[in-house]
Amino acid sequence: MGKISQGILGGLSGKVGNVIGGSWKGIDYLRIKPSSVANPRTEGQVNQRNKFTISLEYLQANKDFIKVGYKAFATKKTEFNAAMSYVLNNGVIGTAPNFSIDYSLALLSRGSLSSPLNGSVDLSIANQVTFDWDDNSADGNANATDKAMVLAYNVSKKESIYILDGAQRSATSQVLSLPASYTGENVELFMAFVSVDGKIVSNSVYLGSGTVA
- Do the Cβ atoms of 204 and 108 come closer than 8 Å? yes
For residue 103, being part of any structural domain is answered with yes
Among candidate residues 132, 135, 108, 112, the one with its CA nearest the CA of residue 122? 132
For residue 33, being part of any structural domain is answered with no
pTM of the model: 0.80
Q: What is the CATH number of the domain that holds 120?
A: 2.60.40.10
**Cα–Cα distances in Å, from 10 out to 7, 94, 159?**
5, 59, 66
CA distance 113 to 194: 7
**Cα–Cα distances in Å, from 43 out to 40, 46, 49, 50?**
9, 5, 10, 11
For residue 166, being part of any structural domain is answered with yes
CA distance 62 to 161: 9
**Residue by residue, what is the 3-state secondary structure of 161-194?**
EEECCCCEHHHCEEEEECCHHHCCCEEEEEEEEE
For residue 24, being part of any structural domain is answered with no
For residue 160, being part of any structural domain is answered with yes
For the segment 158-205, what is each residue's pLDDT rounded down to a tens digit?
A: 999 999 999 999 999 999 999 999 999 999 999 999 999 999 999 999
Name the amino acid, one letter, at 88: L
pLDDT-based confidence at 8, cuts 50/70/90? Answer: very low
Is-cis flag, bond preceding 97, omega within 30? Answer: yes
**Looking at residue 42, what is its pLDDT?**
86
Backbone φ and ψ for 2, nearest 5 degrees, come out as -85, 155
Task: Return the higher-pLDDT residue of 161 and 39.
Answer: 161
pLDDT at 2 over 60: no
For residue 25, being part of any structural domain is answered with no
Instruction: Tell me which residue range forms the domain holding 48.
Output: 43-211
CA distance 205 to 105: 9
Least confident of 19-23, 42-46, 54-58: 19-23
pLDDT-based confidence at 24, cuts 50/70/90? Answer: low
For residue 74, being part of any structural domain is answered with yes
Number of folded domains that form the chain: 1
* Residues comprising the chain, all counted: 213
For residue 19, being part of any structural domain is answered with no
For the segment 69-80, what is each residue's pLDDT rounded down to a tens digit?
A: 999 999 999 999
